[in-house]
Structure 1
Amino acid sequence: MLTLVLGGAASGKSGYAESLVLKTALPRYYIATMQVWDAECAARVEKHRKMRAAKQFETVECPLHLENIHLPARGTALLEDLGNLTANELYDPAGAGENAASAILRGLDQLAGQCVHLIVVSNEVFSGGADYAGDTGRYLKALAQVNNALAARADHVVRVVCGIPVYYKGVEK
């Protein structure tokens, strides 16, 4: 089963996605896409890792190349989040560059095949307008491409607004 959880910044999407995982049996995997650039990032990652461990998540760090993930057993995976992963794949010299959207979708397909349930968190795009400076438009278009394709494949698509889940596809669990 595939669930896409969308929302704006601080909408509650991550907390809602995590609540869905906590309703499932073990094993539980947290696919973390943040790149660690400095000590502040490292401290944030360690804090979140400890919080998730208490909830019986096994954290898998994957800032690039989802296709390289090989989960040890079938279970539920929470991927947090597509916005980070898209930026990493677009802009990191080791990333997929212009092929970021297609590489991410291939990786998501491969990851979903290893899971009983895959829950993916992503950001809304273009809800704030369409006039963006610099390379931001390229990033938003790539993320929109991934979001749209993933929504078409998903069993459930939910948008979280002010902590309230609104289902666009499938029914609330």
Structure 2
Amino acid sequence: MTSNVFTRDLTFILGGARSGKSAYAERLADESGLPVTYIATARIGDAEFAERVRHHRERRPAHWTLVEAPLDLAGALREADHAGHCVLIDCLTLWLANLLCPPEATHDETAALSCEATQAFDAFDRALADVRGKVIVVSNEIGLGVVPLGSVTRLYVDELGRLNQRVAAASTHAVLMVAGVPLALKG
């Protein structure tokens, strides 16, 4: 008897700045042999960041589909996800920054946005639960240092930690990148 049980293929890649997490995720996507949709969450705010984005673009294969989703990550994932397809999301760190610190928000408004972020997280959880293809999600691990001084920064670190835990729990594989070396955490 043949089983029709679906097995989710969700890989979560964490690491610090310049740990090699994006390059590793891109390599996994490329090696999957599947058509790839790259979901970018960045908003370009200055010339230095534009240069970082340019570097990422040049490193990716030209035939990959690019979707920019600075806010509606759940919607972008639902749209891009198909059986026999790979979706690479890079990264949750920037997505959270976009949710909590939109360019037009004042310092006082940022904490109030946490409720909207929670709704976005819930929608993303549901989208991850329904994936049919291979999905690779990249995020920064920023909770290994000291407790930040400012309340907005503490809110950001706390929310990213919670978001990372949610995605790791849903993942079939989790990897921590350190100095370009992947360390398997799960799967």
Query: Structure 1: how far apart are the matches of 2:67 and 2:135?
Result: 14
Partner of 1:29: 37
Structure 2 residue runs of 5 or longer lacking an equivalent are: 1-8
Distance in 2, matches of 1:3 and 1:60, equals: 19
The CA deviation string for residues 59-108 of structure 1, in whole angstroms up to 9 with x for no partner, is 11111111332228541111111110011011115999213144134225
Q: How does 1:13-162 map to 2 (within 5 A)?
A: 13-38=21-46, 41-42=49-50, 44-54=52-62, 56-69=63-76, 70-71=79-80, 73-74=82-83, 75-92=85-102, 97-99=113-115, 100-110=117-127, 113-162=130-179
Looking at structure 2, the residues matched to 131 and 90 of structure 1 have their Cα atoms a distance apart, in angstroms, of 16
Q: CA deviation at 1:115?
A: 4.6
Structure 1 alignment gaps of length 5 or more: none
Tell me if structure 2 keeps the 8 A contact 1:83–1:122: yes
Which 4+ residue blocks in structure 1 deviate beyond 6 angstroms?
none
2:80 counterpart letter in structure 1: L
How many correspondences in the alignment? 169
Q: What is the identity percentage for the equivalent residue pairs of Structure 1 and Structure 2?
A: 39
TM-score by length of 2: 0.78
Cα distance, 1:161 vs. partner? 0.8
2-side partners of 1:76 and 1:44: how far apart? 23
CA distance in 1 between counterparts of 2:132 and 2:53 reads 24
Secondary structure, aligned partner of 1:168: strand
Alignment correspondent of 1:163: 180
Between structure 1 and structure 2, the one with the greater Rg is: 2
Q: Tell me, yes or no, if the aligned pair for 2:80 and 2:87 is still in contact at 8 Å.
A: no
2:81–2:133: 8 Å Cα contact kept in structure 1? no
Query: Within the alignment, does 1:8 sit opposite 2:16 as a pair?
Result: yes
Pick closer, same or farther for the CA change 1:135–1:101 going to 2, 3 Å: same
- The CA RMSD over aligned residues, in Å, is 2.5
